Amino acid sequence: MTKSSRIYINSNLNAGKKQWLRLRLAVVYSSIKKYTSTIWQYTQSSTISLMAVSPLLLILFGIVLEYSGFDIWWIKHFYDDQSRSWPFRGHWLFDTVIHDWGRYFNICMAALWLICFVSTFFIAKFKKHKKILVYFLTASLAGPLIVGIGKHSTHIFTPWELEIFSGTLPYIRLFDSVPIGAPIGEAFPAGHASGGYAYFSLYFLLLHIGSPYKKYGFFFGLGLGLIFGIGQQVRGAHFPSHDLFSMVICWYATLIFYYLFYPKRGEGIIHDT
């Protein structure tokens, strides 16, 4: 085969990949547009707030990412076909800083919470915050605990375990049939990302005490969850859809527990009143 023939074939393959990607992105865009419009119309015609229904859109988006092929396309960027390995799996930034130090950060936050909670028994002006601190702990733990149950109940595997990436296990999506004898995946939803999204509870804590910075509490949880989640994706540990489902679980966990602790205020958030 001549050099010009190889160039021609490679250019056709690249063109085919671009066309495939355009079609996949068109499916994603049309689905998002359709369901966004539906949810927006629903919120306009009812008293349900965007805080309560937005996660539903994220669920649909996560399903679209799986079944459109976007998950596979995205994660391929971090897989080396020639060496059949994940170059960033043990990288110091993603493995040590984001993954390991991320766990230590959560341990430090737990210690800080304990100090604050103990202080409510001895410092008079802190006593009124005892209940909201109990909420913060409960809501922050609920999301990751639910995610942990899901990880030990589903047959969805990490990218680095899959046959399509030189692993040994099949690629199974959310609604796919599970082969007989398939082991538990322990990959879905994303566990490490939930340790970041758990801080959505900061929004409700700051809201409750009347802080003007409550939105920063939400964005802190969102940002930390994205950092934890993308770090794991780069390593080959999760697909984007895994992280979206973790985000939704933590979002709803913090909202529902706020409603349980403070029914009147929680109802006002849910119904946007």
Per-residue pLDDT tens digits of the chain, which is 273 residues long:
554 544 444 455 455 555 655 665 566 556 555 555 554 454 444 455 777 788 888 999 999 999 999 999 999 999 999 999 999 999 999 999 999 999 999 999 999 999 999 998 888 888 888 999 999 999 999 999 999 999 999 999 999 999 999 999 999 998 999 888 889 988 999 999 999 999 999 999 999 888 899 899 999 999 999 999 999 999 999 999 999 999 999 999 999 999 999 988 877 777 765
**Residue 61 and residue 57: Cα distance in Å, rounded?**
6
Q: Is residue 11 in a domain?
A: no
- Measured in residues, the chain has a length of 273
Q: Is residue 29 in a domain?
A: no
Instruction: Give me the chain's average pLDDT, please.
Output: 85
Phi and psi, residue 134, nearest 5°: -65, -40
Q: Is residue 70 in a domain?
A: no
Q: Is residue 136 in a domain?
A: yes
**Residue 1 and residue 156: Cα distance in Å, rounded?**
42
* Domain containing residue 87: 81-270
Q: Is residue 48 in a domain?
A: no
Structural domains of the chain, count: 1
Q: Is residue 175 in a domain?
A: yes
**Residue 29 and residue 170: Cα distance in Å, rounded?**
28
pLDDT for position 124: 82
